[in-house]
């Protein structure tokens, strides 16, 4: 078990050629022929022993019983032990967050850990059963094992703004990055680091204070930011009872119809919002809520004028029982 793989290979070769030499010296011509020796060596060393080839001389039998079989057993056991230790260590390395997922592409990276909120985040991600099948990499600074080994990959390190950690998480080639840190200063630092590393990922961050959002937007306008809306929901529920239930269902992938988005194909010639609204309801039982030009949704227009044009490249936000992919919409059938 203490031997390196190279040393184990050397010992195996010594046993292979050493036992062949002894067999040859004892006159075992049939066994030592090139077409038979490898087969005989493997069958004997692993104790399979088919019996179709056996030593005929006393010296050959002594070589097989005292040198070949015991040596084969030791080497075979050592090989299995080292192999199992390798896979156990690899599993523990991944469970402890020491793995490397820099080769991943098109995945989701989550920066930050909260026992309850991160668990809810993972539940909502996988609750969208028709989402694009992306791997999820969770990054945390806490010393712990992977909290969701059956669902996500795990990276652990001292700082979530560290380039080495973010590289192991595959941030450079990620498709989505969710940043949810314990305070706004850490969130801001992670946002600046991530935006410097990737120009293609859609970055979403949560802040407690609005002025931190404005500060980040002044440097990184491509980041989609969220702040606490609990006060707004409290007032809305007081004025319009039950509003919190509507907001909750619109955001949750676990209960009833919820809100999704779809990108209008680049070859689409355009249509009036009223007509798109009718078509989506008739063909997909979906309600179109609004449109936006950019992925951050900063220019989102909810319930626009019926005559407003919906054109190629825009994002259409809608509510339906499940996600509707762009390829499932017969865009060419939407008439003016």
Domains of the chain: 5-95 (1.10.287.70), 108-228 (3.40.50.720), 257-333 (3.30.70.1450)
**Residue 328 pLDDT:** 94
Token pair listed for 332: 């060419």
**Residue 230 pLDDT:** 65
Q: What is the DSSP string of 244-309?
A: HHHHHHHH-SSSSSEEEEEEPPTT---EEHHHHHHHHHHHH--EEEEEESSTT-TT-EES--TTPE
pLDDT digits (tens), the chain, 336 positions: 567 778 888 888 898 899 999 999 999 888 889 889 999 888 888 878 788 888 889 998 898 888 888 888 888 888 877 777 777 777 777 789 998 999 999 999 999 999 999 999 999 999 998 888 899 999 999 999 999 999 999 999 999 999 999 999 999 999 999 999 999 999 999 999 999 999 999 999 999 998 999 999 999 999 999 887 666 777 777 788 888 788 888 888 888 899 999 999 999 999 999 999 999 999 999 999 999 998 888 899 999 999 999 999 999 999 999 999 999 999 999 876
**Residue 336 pLDDT:** 66
Token pair listed for 201: 């990922």
Contact 170, 139 (CB under 8 A): no
Distance (Å) of CA 300 to CA 144, 202, 223, 329: 40, 16, 15, 22
Token pair listed for 80: 């299995």
d(CA 313, CA 269): 10
Q: What is the DSSP string of 180-224?
A: --SSHHHHHHHHHHHHHH-SSSEEEEEES-HHHHHHHHHH-TTSE
d(CA 260, CA 323): 6
Token pair listed for 71: 């040596």
DSSP state of 98: B
Handedness of CA 145, 148, 150, 154 (dihedral sign): negative
**Residue 1 pLDDT:** 57
Q: Say how many C-beta atoms besides its own lie within 10 A of residue 277's C-beta.
A: 20
Angle of CA points 33, 35, 38, to nearest 5°: 90
Contact 260, 324 (CB under 8 A): yes
Overall size of the chain counted in residues: 336
């Amino acid at each position: 078990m203490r031997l390196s793989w190279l040393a184990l290979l050397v010992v195996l070769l010594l046993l292979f050629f050493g036992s062949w030499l002894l067999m040859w010296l004892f006159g075992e011509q049939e066994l030592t022929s090139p077409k038979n020796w490898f087969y005989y060596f493997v069958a004997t060393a692993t104790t399979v022993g088919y019996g179709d080839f056996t030593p005929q001389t006393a010296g050959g039998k002594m070589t097989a019983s005292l040198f070949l079989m015991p040596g084969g057993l030791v080497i075979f056991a050592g090989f299995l032990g080292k192999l199992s230790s390798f896979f156990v260590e690899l599993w523990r390395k991944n469970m402890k967050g020491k793995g490397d997922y820099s080769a991943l592409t098109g995945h989701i990276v989550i920066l930050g850990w909260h026992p309850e909120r991160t668990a809810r985040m993972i539940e909502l991600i996988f609750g969208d059963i028709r989402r694009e099948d992306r791997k999820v990499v969770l990054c945390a600074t806490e010393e712990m094992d992977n909290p969701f080994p059956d669902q996500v990959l795990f990276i652990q390190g001292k700082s979530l703004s560290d380039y080495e950690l973010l590289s192991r998480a595959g941030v450079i080639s990620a498709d989505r990055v969710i940043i949810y840190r314990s305070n706004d200063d850490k969130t801001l630092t992670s946002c600046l680091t991530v935006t410097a590393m990737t120009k293609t990922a859609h970055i979403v961050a949560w802040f407690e204070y609005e002025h931190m959002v404005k500060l980040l937007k002044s440097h990184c306008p491509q980041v989609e930011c969220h702040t606490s809306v609990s006060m707004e929901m409290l007032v809305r529920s007081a004025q319009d009872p039950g509003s919190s239930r509507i907001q909750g269902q619109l955001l949750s992938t676990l209960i009833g119809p919820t809100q999704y988005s779809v990108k209008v194909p680049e070859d689409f010639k355009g249509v009036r919002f009223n007509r798109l609204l009718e078509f989506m309801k008739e063909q997909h039982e979906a309600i179109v809520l609004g449109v936006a030009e950019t992925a951050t949704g900063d220019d989102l227009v909810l319930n626009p004028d019926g005559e407003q044009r919906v054109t190629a490249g825009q994002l259409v936000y809608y509510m339906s029982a499940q996600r509707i992919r762009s390829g499932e919409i017969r865009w060419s059938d939407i008439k003016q």
